[in-house]
Amino acid sequence: MSFDKNNSQDKPNLATEEYWNDTYNVELDNFKNFGDPGAEWFGHSIGLKMIKCIQSNCKISQEDPILDVGCGNALLLIQLAKLGFSNLYGIDYSAPAVKLANSIVKDQKIENIILKEFDFLTDDVKILPTFSLVLDKGTYDVISMDDESKEKRSRYKENIINLLQPNGMFLIVSCNWTQLELNEQFGDAFQVVHTIPTPSFQFGGAVGNTLSATLYQKL
C-alpha cells in the first residue's frame, strides 16, 4: 500500500477526519455485531516486527510510558499490554476510533491502556505526559497527504520532540516515505538506532521497499 505525495486524487479521502470517522463507525458496528476488531494498519506482521524491535532495541522497562499516535483500534497497544507493558497511551482524532478501541480493550479485559480523543496537530500536547517511546504506524503518512503537508509535518515533528523524554525513542512505520527521506526529515533531532527489515521489490533495475520502518532516538 502506498500513497503518491503529489497525486491530488489520493488526498481527499485518507487525509480527512470524515473518512476515518466513517471507516471506524463501520468497524465499530462490525465489532458490536460480529466481534471483529478490524484490520491492523499495514498488516499483522509489521506490528509483530515493531514489538520485536521494541523488545530488542529499546532500552525501556515495561513500566515506562509508551504513546501510540493515531492508535486507531489500538491493536498494537493491546499486543504490548499482553506482553506485560503497563503504561500505555493511545490518541486518535477520530472519536469512533477511540470508541472502538475502548470497546476492544474492555472486551479483552485489559486495564493498562489509556485512550484519548486527541488531535495531535491542533490540540495542546502539553496536557499529555512525556514518554519514553512514541509509536507511529501510518499517521505521518496521512498527515503527509494533506494540502498543507509541509507545515503540518513540521508541527508533527515538533510535537514528537516535545513529548519525548531525554533520549526517548521514536518508532515510525511509513508507506509514503523512503528510509532516506525519513532520515532527512528527522535526522537533525534524532539518530537512527535500528532499521526494521521490510519486504522489498525490484523494478527497472532499482530495488525499493514497500514500507520504511525505523527506530530513532532523540538527540
Residue written as grid cell 515506562: 64
Q: What is the pLDDT of residue 146?
A: 80
Backbone angles phi, psi at 191, to 5 degrees: -115, 145
Question: What pLDDT was estimated at residue 200?
Answer: 60
> What is d(CA 87, CA 111) in angstroms, rounded to the nearest whole number?
10
Buried/exposed 71-80: b ≥16 CB within 10 Å, e otherwise = bbbbbbbbbb
Q: How far apart are CA 61 and CA 163, in angstroms?
A: 18
| Residue % of the chain over a pLDDT of 90 | 81
d(C-alpha 112, C-alpha 80), whole Å: 10
Q: Report the C-alpha gap between 69 and 203 in whole angstroms.
A: 33
* Angle of the 75-82 helix axis to the 44-57 helix axis, nearest 10: 50
pLDDT band at residue 209 under the 50/70/90 scheme: low
Tell the CATH topology of 8-218: Rossmann fold (3.40.50)
Inter-CA distances, 140 with 32, 70, 195, Å: 29, 9, 17
Residue 46 has pLDDT above 70, yes or no: yes
**CA 146 → CA 41, 92, 160, distances in Å?**
19, 17, 19
**Lowest mean pLDDT, pick from 103-117, 137-151, 165-179, 203-217:** 203-217
pLDDT tens profile 48-72: 999 999 999 999 999 999 999 999 9
Q: Which is it for strands 190-195 and 113-117: parallel, antiparallel or unpaired?
A: unpaired
Residue 215: its pLDDT value, please? 99
Rounded distance between C-alpha atoms, residue 130 and residue 109, angstroms: 26
Q: Where are the domains of the chain?
A: 8-218
Q: What integer is the mean pLDDT of 9-13?
A: 52
Query: What is the grid cell recorded at 180?
Result: 532516506
Q: Does pTM top 0.85 for this prediction?
A: yes
Task: List the single range of 106-120, 131-145, 177-191, 198-212 with lowest mean pLDDT.
Answer: 198-212
Please state, rounded to an integer, the average pLDDT across all residues of the chain.
91
pLDDT of residue 9: 46
pLDDT at 147: 76
The pLDDT value given to residue 7: 46
CA angle 212, 216, 219 (to 5 degrees): 150
Per-residue pLDDT, 1: 37
In sequence order, which residues have a C-beta less than 8 Å from that of residue 53 and are 6 or more positions away?
A: 171, 194, 196, 213, 215
pLDDT digits 0-9 by tens, 175-207: 999 999 999 999 999 999 999 998 764 444 544
